[in-house]
Amino acid sequence: MTELYTTTEEHEELRSAVRAVADDKIEPNAAAVDAASAFPQQAYDALRATDFHAAHIPEEYGGVGADALATCIIIEEVARACASSSLIPAVNKLGTMPLLLGASEDVKQRYLPQTTRGETMFSYGLSEREAGSDTANMRTRADADGDDWVLNGQKSWITNAGVSDYYTVMAVTDPEGKRGGNISAFVVHADDPGFTLGEPEKKLGIKGSPTRELFFDDVRIPGDRLVGSVGEGLKIALRTLDHTRITIGAQAIGIAQGALDHALAYTKERQQFGTAISEFQGVQFMLADMGMKLETARQMVYAAAAKSEREDSDLSFFGAAAKCYASDAAMEITTDAVQLLGGSGYVSDFPVERMMRDAKITQIYEGTNQIQRLVMARQMLKGGTR
């Protein structure tokens, strides 16, 4: 059996560097960001200053060229401090991955260096109200008009909408064409005439990362903003998710690690019946289960990241499995952390209630965990996991 992944000395040095930034610049503002539903500008500034905001972009576009595992480590360590802030590097990867996978060299050179320099952010526009899990059922259309395209429709649940400058948007370009093969991808600019945003969603968690609808009313897109060829949009979108849902797994293990860290510290300090509650067997069993789930999830995410880097044929299975298992584990671990802190866990004086709220979305976005199980099962039935 081949080795699934290797963490190098550089990976561990990176982890230490990101953790230092997260502890110093990001974690102190996490509660305030959540309470105010405010974009974490201080985190963005700190990530840009250290090139952690879009480290996945290759060196030929001015980037750091971090591999998939290094990118996951960045997201994990930021999420340990603040889940909302971890969506800065995660969504920059999500929004630019279609360009890396399918765009012309001209499009890459036009947009990627700006993101690398921290001048712009990218978001990703795939889902619609009636086309969430059923992405091929989208209604947004782009009609050819000479060399241009005219975009009409809407997109829902778009992360970092309103702070991003660019949006990779999927739209139907051939209404009579074969389902799934009639969708194309475009880069939309925030200042394009006819492009507007809905009001910020009022959410359970990740409140510091704005989520809004996108509306397109005769938005004229020059033909040179096409990502890939006409009709390749959904293929590029799904390939993108194979790579980027792993980053949601990384976000999930970061949130879970943060919750476990707080639970361990609290149980060693909190005393009942004259002793620290960490001495009670029932508490130790809970902590052991939390640690076991977390380390299993971390191994799955790191293995999937290595497969992403190698473009392994079983990436779809491993990406879905890593995202699904890690997010389920994060929900369980954060819930148990709240339980271990008792009444303190239920109030915002302690961060575990925020972490529990933040963890929930990892089971939903970039494909619900029910969809991930479908992806896994179909790969298994095709014999694509070994």
Lowest mean pLDDT among 20-29, 270-279, 350-359, 376-385: 376-385
What's the token pair of residue 83? 């889940």
Confidence category of residue 3, pLDDT binned at 50, 70, 90: low
CATH of 122-233, one of 3.40.190.10, 2.40.110.10, 3.40.50.620, 2.102.10.10: 2.40.110.10
Please tell me the predicted confidence (pLDDT) of residue 381.
95
Please tell me the predicted confidence (pLDDT) of residue 262.
98
Q: Count CB neighbours of 52 within 10 A.
A: 25
Q: What's the count of helices (H) and strands (E) in the chain, helices before strands? A: 11, 10
Q: Quick check: 315 pLDDT over 90? A: yes
Please tell me the predicted confidence (pLDDT) of residue 383.
86
Residue 201, class by beta-carbon neighbours within 10 Å (0-12 exposed, 13-18 middle, 19+ buried)? middle
For the chain, domain boundaries? 9-116, 122-233, 235-381
Average pLDDT over every residue of 272-278: 97
- In this predicted model, which residue has the larger pLDDT, 327 or 136? 327
Same fold, 9-116 and 235-381: no
Please tell me the predicted confidence (pLDDT) of residue 1.
39
**Residue 103: strand, helix, or coil:** coil
The CATH homologous superfamily of the domain defined by 235-381: Butyryl-CoA Dehydrogenase, subunit A, domain 3 (1.20.140.10)
| CA separation for the pair 117, 259 (Å, rounded) | 33
Please tell me the predicted confidence (pLDDT) of residue 15.
98
* Nearest one of 129, 43, 24, 135 to 92, comparing CA atoms: 43
Confidence category of residue 386, pLDDT binned at 50, 70, 90: low
Average pLDDT over every residue of 27-31: 98
Known catalytic residues are 366
Average pLDDT over every residue of 277-305: 98
Please tell me the predicted confidence (pLDDT) of residue 136.
86
* Nearest one of 338, 386, 382 to 360, comparing CA atoms: 338
Backbone φ and ψ of 75, nearest 5°: -65, -40
Lowest mean pLDDT among 66-75, 125-134, 347-356: 125-134
Look over the chain and give the mean of its residue pLDDT values, rounded to a whole number: 97
Confidence category of residue 384, pLDDT binned at 50, 70, 90: low
| CA separation for the pair 197, 35 (Å, rounded) | 23
The pLDDT tens digits for 176-216 are 999 989 999 999 999 999 999 999 999 999 999 999 999 99
**Residue 272: strand, helix, or coil:** strand
- pTM of this structure: 0.97
The pLDDT tens digits for 58-95 are 999 999 999 999 999 999 999 999 999 999 999 999 99
Q: Quick check: 313 pLDDT over 60? A: yes
Q: Quick check: 2 pLDDT over 80? A: no
**DSSP per residue, 275-325:** EEGGGSHHHHHHHHHHHHHHHHHHHHHHHHHHHHHHT-TTHHHHHHHHHHH
The pLDDT tens digits for 227-261 are 999 999 999 999 999 999 999 999 999 999 999 99
Q: Quick check: 13 pLDDT over 70? A: yes
* Nearest one of 165, 249, 202 to 34, comparing CA atoms: 202
CATH of 9-116, one of 1.10.540.10, 3.90.650.10, 3.40.50.360, 1.25.40.390: 1.10.540.10
Q: What angle do CA 291, 300, 243 make, to 5 degrees?
A: 135
What count of Cα atoms within 13 Å lies in the side-chain half-sphere of residue 358?
37
| CA separation for the pair 74, 80 (Å, rounded) | 10
Please tell me the predicted confidence (pLDDT) of residue 328.
98
* Nearest one of 170, 180, 167, 205 to 84, comparing CA atoms: 205
- Segment (H or E) for 196: strand 195-197
Please tell me the predicted confidence (pLDDT) of residue 221.
98
